[in-house]
Amino acid sequence: MLVCIPEVLPKSEVAEFRRLMDGAEWEDGRSTAGAQSAMVKRNEQLPPDSELARALGRRIVSALTANPKFVAAAVPLQIFPPLFNRYVASGGHHFGIHVDNAVRGDHLTGLRIRTDLSITLFLAEPDEYDGGELVIEDTYGSHEVKLSAGDAVLYPSTSLHMVTPVTRGARVASFFWLQSMIRDAQARSMIYDLDTAIQALVERLGRDDPETVKLTGIYHNLIRYWAEV
């Protein structure tokens, strides 16, 4: 399941992020890559343990956990501290086809998660750079994703994916992972579809409609049945 989440951050906050990031020191992005990913990864990143990366990351997590669409799609249990990367045309930056590590650990907090879902939050507008599409492979083929600054995409960490070469400008983004309460991807997709349908009924019939109340109960009972907490 691939879900786009618009306006996670407003444009004003994106501009503030970019101002702070542009004045920071960047390092080789391979420092956080696994053995296989490091062979195909060419980009820059903010030092993950830096005060700036941690502060900006906390703001992203706060915005996401307040976003109903994100919560509905992810049913998050643990969110890994967001990382930040930059693909610059002059550096020939790209990220070849790879799959994310199954487990990620953060040595500063001791957090250790199973990576169920991957997230990319775009921090550059599409017209700021050429190339740099996030290409995600699934059973229905390849999907190219290039969203507006402030928008995010959520997709299974089991997916093969890549970032195409940036040929003009710079692609700036935050990327990270989460462990969902609902481990099974098919169950998580059904939970999301059910939640979306319930919200549509609420708009039409009201929250106190008897059938809406009944479906809401089914939703919560399915969460109760499938959740790992």
Q: Given CA atoms 134, 137, 143, 149 in this order, what sign does their dihedral have?
A: negative
Distance between CA 185 and CA 191 in Å, rounded?
Answer: 10
Tokens encoding 39: 């062979």
Residues 6+ apart with CB under 8 A from 222: 187, 190, 191, 194
Please state the residue numbers annotated as binding site for 2-oxoglutarate: 171
Indicate if the alpha-carbon torsion angle 104, 50, 121, 74 is positive or negative: positive
What 3-state DSSP class applies to 42?
strand
Q: Which residues are annotated as a binding site?
A: 98, 100, 161, 171
- Look at residues 174, 190, 180, 122 and name the one whose alpha carbon lies nearest to residue 156: 180
User: What per-residue string of b and e applies to 39-73 under the rule 16 or more CB within 10 Å gives b?
Assistant: eebbbbbbbbeeebbbebbeebbebbeebebbebb
- Cα distance between residue 188 and residue 70, in whole Å: 12
**Which residues are annotated as part of the binding site for Fe cation?**
98, 100, 161
